[in-house]
């Protein structure tokens, strides 16, 4: 499969064009949000209140970047473990978020929500935060500054590399890999 360039935000058609195992380069605006921000967003959904940032059609990157050194846009920006957001992810996808970037497997409810709401889960390479930060051209806190590195940030990216793990059709690259290499 060749590398596909995608531009954020995403449409249903963009999401449906992506398949598990495909490598992508993302350009445009994505949003950084981790555990604490997800908890706040979920609480707002439960109360029927609006989010501080409209994330419909957007990509959320599970990252809490380290502080930028002088002359840099951001410090290291590697993905955090996605499973910590699984409790919130179905509601986030129902709201209209189209893609999530992190590392590690997702639970069954999240995989089903990706199918139900036409979303996709992408993995960025863990341990490569310094390299990934090179594709971040702008970074600005847009909500919850009190959360420090877990604040919601608007990131402008150019050529951010990721791999489709779970597509909107129910395919799971990790499961396919386990089956392929299983000795049972």
Distances (CA, A) of 164 to 73, 115, 125, 139, 179: 26, 14, 12, 24, 17
Q: Mean pLDDT throughout 84-91?
A: 96
Q: What is the pLDDT of residue 180?
A: 84
Q: Which of 29, 62, 38 is nearest to 136 (CA)?
A: 29
Answer whether the bond into residue 9 is a cis peptide, omega within 30°.
yes
Mean pLDDT of 109-129: 95
| Mean pLDDT on 80-85 | 95
Q: Which has more confidence, 19 or 131?
A: 19
Structural domain boundaries enclosing 105: 4-181
Per-residue confidence at 176, pLDDT binned at 50, 70, 90? confident
Average pLDDT over residues 124-152: 93
Mean pLDDT to the nearest integer, 63-70: 89
Can you read off the two tokens belonging to residue 133? 């930060």
Q: Residue 32, class by beta-carbon neighbours within 10 Å (0-12 exposed, 13-18 middle, 19+ buried)?
A: buried
- d(Cα 140, Cα 55) in Å, to the nearest integer? 15
pLDDT at res. 107: 97
Q: Rounded to two decimals, what is the model's pTM?
A: 0.95
> DSSP assignment, residue 104?
S
CATH of the domain at 130: 3.20.130.10
Phi, psi of 160 (to 5 degrees): -70, 120
Residue 73: pLDDT above 90?
Answer: yes
- What pLDDT, in 10s, does the model give residues 23-54? 999 999 999 999 999 999 999 999 999 999 99
Q: What pLDDT, on a 0 to 100 scale, did the predictor assign at position 64?
A: 87
- With a cut of 70, say whether residue 184 has pLDDT above it: no
Looking at the structure of the chain, the number of domains it has is 1
Query: What pLDDT sits at residue 67?
Result: 87
pLDDT in tens, 100-111: 999 999 999 999
């Amino acid at each position: 499969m060749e590398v596909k360039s995608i531009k954020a935000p995403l449409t249903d058609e963009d999401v449906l064009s992506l398949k598990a195992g495909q490598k992508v380069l993302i350009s445009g605006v994505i949003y950084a949000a981790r555990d604490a921000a997800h908890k706040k967003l979920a609480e707002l959904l439960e109360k029927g209140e609006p989010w501080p940032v409209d994330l419909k059609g957007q990509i959320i990157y599970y990252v809490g970047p380290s502080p930028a050194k002088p002359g840099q846009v951001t410090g290291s920006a590697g993905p955090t473990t996605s499973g910590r957001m699984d409790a919130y992810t179905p509601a986030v996808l129902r709201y209209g978020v189209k893609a999530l970037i992190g590392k590690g497997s997702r639970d069954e409810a999240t995989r089903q929500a990706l199918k139900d709401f036409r979303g996709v889960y992408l993995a960025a390479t863990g341990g490569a935060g310094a390299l990934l930060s090179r594709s971040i051209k702008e970074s600005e806190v847009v909500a919850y500054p009190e959360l420090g590195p877990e604040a919601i940030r608007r990131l402008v990216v150019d050529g951010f590399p990721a791999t489709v793990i779970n597509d909107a059709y129910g395919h799971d690259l990790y499961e396919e890999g386990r089956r392929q290499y299983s000795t049972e």
